[in-house]
């Protein structure tokens, strides 16, 4: 669809998707390593800090990618559809790279990582559940099931793609709404 000489059809910018997906993955790895090496527990406060920083990082990455698409590739225009599709693909690509890194980290760099996370979770749950033994047994069973589910499997990859796709679409929708500029909205 042509309007004001600008093509506003949906375009996938694969070079930008790959570039910003890799930058996002690298920044996520650095964030993970800083939090892990600083001794912050990933359960509780450390997890909350990691989540907030991760959301901020994602929004910043999307801002930079959308700015590049809008200003360098689209002649100053960016619609919401382009934002959501390209942004979601950036987040999914970044998530896949991070997934591979985490598998390497958990299996070769720090094989005891999952056990430490489970131990931290049990400590937190013990504080919450108190002396309720039935609740503690259920939590231990659930944690054993979760441990079996961790690893490099098709289901984990599919779950990772689905989760990152939903998260990426939401973040892209937010940042796209802020950055969008349609030629049809020009006020003369």
pLDDT at site 127: 74
Q: Outline where DSSP puts E strands in the chain.
A: 2-3, 6-7
Identify the H or E element spanning 106: none
Q: Average pLDDT for residues 90-96, to the nearest whole number?
A: 96
Confidence of residue 187 (pLDDT cuts 50, 70, 90): low
pLDDT at site 184: 72
Q: How far is CA 30 from the centre of its chain?
A: 14
pLDDT at 4 over 50: no
pLDDT at site 52: 94
CA distance to 24, 57, 101, per residue, from 94 (Å)? 6, 12, 11
> 9-33, pLDDT tens digit by residue?
678 899 999 999 999 999 999 999 9
Residue 51 DSSP SS3: helix
Contacts of 17 by beta carbon, 8 Å cutoff, 6+ apart: 65, 86, 89, 90, 93
Higher pLDDT, 11 or 153: 11
pLDDT at 55 over 90: yes
Residue 64 tokens, joined: 């930079």
Residue 171 tokens, joined: 């973040």
CA contacts within 13 A on the Cβ side of 32 = 13
- Taking the C-alpha atoms of residue 89 and residue 169, their distance in angstroms, rounded to an integer, is 9
pLDDT at site 1: 38
pLDDT at site 18: 97
Q: Average pLDDT for residues 55-66, to the nearest whole number?
A: 97
Residue 130 tokens, joined: 């108190």
pLDDT at 147 over 70: no
Residue 154 tokens, joined: 């098709």
- Taking the C-alpha atoms of residue 36 and residue 39, their distance in angstroms, rounded to an integer, is 6
pLDDT at 108 over 90: yes
- Taking the C-alpha atoms of residue 42 and residue 136, their distance in angstroms, rounded to an integer, is 20
> 37-51, pLDDT tens digit by residue?
888 777 777 788 889
- Taking the C-alpha atoms of residue 153 and residue 9, their distance in angstroms, rounded to an integer, is 37
Higher pLDDT, 137 or 181: 181
Annotated domain spans of the chain = 12-183
Confidence of residue 3 (pLDDT cuts 50, 70, 90): very low
């Amino acid at each position: 669809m042509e309007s004001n000489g600008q093509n506003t059809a949906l375009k996938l910018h694969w070079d930008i998707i790959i570039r910003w997906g890799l930058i996002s993955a690298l920044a996520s790895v650095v964030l993970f390593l800083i939090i892990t090496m600083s001794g912050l527990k990933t359960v509780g406060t450390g997890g909350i800090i990691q989540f907030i920083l991760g959301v901020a990082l994602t929004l910043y990455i999307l801002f930079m990618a959308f700015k590049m698409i809008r200003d360098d590739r689209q002649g100053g225009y960016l619609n919401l559809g382009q934002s959501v599709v390209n942004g979601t693909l950036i987040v999914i690509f970044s998530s896949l790279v991070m997934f591979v890194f985490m598998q390497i980290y958990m299996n070769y760099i720090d094989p005891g990582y999952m056990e430490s996370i489970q131990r931290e979770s049990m400590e937190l749950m013990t504080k919450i559940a108190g002396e309720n033994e039935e609740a503690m047994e259920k939590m231990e069973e659930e944690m054993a099931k979760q441990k079996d589910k961790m690893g490099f499997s098709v289901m984990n990859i599919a779950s990772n793609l689905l989760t990152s796709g939903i998260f990426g679409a939401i973040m892209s929708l937010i940042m796209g709404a802020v950055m969008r500029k349609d030629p049809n909205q020009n006020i003369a």
